[in-house]
Amino acid sequence: MKSLPYIMVLLGAVLWGTTGTTQTFLQEGISSFAVACVRSGIGGGLLLILVLMMKKMTWRTWPWKWNILAALAIALFQCLFFSSIRFTGVAIGTVVTIGSAPVFSGILEWVIWKVKPSRIWAAATSFSIIGCALLFVNRGEAIIDPAGIGLALCAGLMFALYTNVSKQLMKHAETLPAVAMTFSICSVILAPIALMDGVLWITDIGNLVPMLYMGIITTSIAYLLFLAGLRSVNSSAAVTLSLAEPLTAALLGVLFLGEYLSLTSWAGVFLILGGIIVITFGNRFAS
């Protein structure tokens, strides 16, 4: 099935979209960096144990260059994104980060890997970016802070870089050990920042259960789906499909958190859906 890899990437993004709702079950005041570190540690650590038990790790021939670059990119993405929303608020930070990532990915893929973006990608990305902007209109505080915008753009670049580098990693490694190693290394990178804020909060059962969900479902399983699909999907298309993440988060907010979406935001929902449908099934009609 030609569209199956696109659907796998899409499902991974949908699982990422449940992270925000899940975090509402954590006690207040927990550092976002600590959450990112523990989430990565649980997701990567459990998979690493499984990989070692299955003896799937080839230490001597492992593509360390690509793996370390992927781990560093995803760690920087989380740090930059969380920092950006402190300056700009959630709405603007999310729009700039998620909206810029597909553009950066297309540029990186074209300049570095010499893969020219297709017209289908351009159309789907345009729909989705406009939809993302409309989705967050009048949601949260609109603070146009130059430092925050810069951090958000850097976060979008890091996610695009992570996807492009992971595409190369998938050429040299199996999906399971690749995800295990990437997030195990990521948690080590984030640990110094996380430890500054403390991690004893994880011992509370009310925090442990949501963190286990975020570690296993939104990290281990989500990234396994994303990278498995990435084997057959261009990096630029995969990043565009990742716009399903804010779409899922917004819909879950309406369904479970009592949040309100204006008519403009609903228009954004349908534009993002349109972009996802175009990029998932449009390849069938490409010449």
pLDDT of 197-230, one tens digit each? Answer: 888 999 999 999 999 999 999 999 999 999 999 9
Per-residue pLDDT at 1 exceeds 60: yes
Per-domain residue ranges of the chain: 4-285
pTM over 0.75: yes
- Give me the mean pLDDT over the 149-167 stretch: 96
Q: Percent of the chain having pLDDT more than 70?
A: 96
The band of 86, judged by pLDDT with boundaries at 50, 70 and 90, is confident
What are 98-136's pLDDT values in tens digits? Answer: 999 999 999 999 999 999 888 899 999 999 999 998 988
**pLDDT exceeds cutoff 50 at 272:** yes
CB neighbours of 38 closer than 8 A, spacing ≥ 6?
Answer: 187, 194, 199, 202, 211, 215
